[in-house]
Amino acid sequence: EWRQRLYPVGRLDYDASGLLLLTDDGALAHALTHPRFAVRKTYHVLVAGAVGPQALSRLRHGVMLDDGPTAPAHARVLETSPGQTVLELTIREGRKREIKRMCAAVGHPVRALLRVSMGGVELGALPVGKWRRLKPAEVDRLRRSARQDAAPAAGRDD
């Protein structure tokens, strides 16, 4: 009988969607999820209201939450429509419900959350509920991402 353990890399809340990685490499899963390794995770976030420069600045410089300040996030507006904004946020921590708490703290509650990238691996056009194997180059990219020094995110819109 063949037995192999699969490790989820990160988590998504019941009301979030997007990229979720599974691996049989426990050490890699740990390195990709532990805050010390500061692996980048990018989200497209639909929030309530029009996000202005002050809220973006707060996200880019770190937001005070009940469990302490967040690291700076890369934050930019992707799209605006009446009463809502789509943001792209890249973080390196991944604390429990961090994106939702950050957005609420700057006055823009999250309506929808989609993880589009982790450690340089992109979700792309993969349909909801489908999966695919990673290409060797993507696995190499994840391994390199997990070995990087835990430098803080730039916190600006480059």
How far apart are alpha carbons 129 and 149 in whole angstroms?
Answer: 33
> CB 131: neighbour CB atoms within 10 A?
9
> CB 158: neighbour CB atoms within 10 A?
6
Residue 158 bears catalytic tag? no
Which residue type does 14 have? Y
Q: Which residues pair with 117 in a beta bridge?
A: 42, 122
CA distances in angstroms from 133 to 65, 118, 125, 129, 141, listed in the order given:
36, 15, 14, 14, 14
Which tokens belong to 139?
Answer: 């696995």
Q: Which of 13, 15, 24, 157 is catalytic?
A: 13
How distant is the alpha carbon of residue 129 from its chain centre? 19
Which tokens belong to 128?
Answer: 């909801």
* Residues with catalytic roles: 13
